Amino acid sequence: MSPAEIRDEIIDILNDIAPDEDLSELKDEIAFREQLELDSMDFLDIVMELRKRHRVQIPEEDYEALASMQSTVNYLEPLMKDI
């Protein structure tokens, strides 16, 4: 997947997890938690959804790499390059 495709996939997952959030103004470099009403369970839902949809395993110690859209795309790009 390209970075743009990964970003679109994350937006799709966020839409499922937080359907009431307006994602049209989401800034890539600012942490999700600063922009959205996400709690720790919502964050785990993102990780679980990536695992379910794409079989991407993200170790707990790497969760902080998923703080913002940009850091998430950067982290996932090598893991999802062949998807």
- Point out the residues that are catalytic: 39
Cβ contact 1:80 at 8 Å: yes
Bridge partners, residue 68, by sequence:
31
Q: Cα(81)–Cα(83) distance, rounded to whole angstroms?
A: 6
Amino acid at 77: E
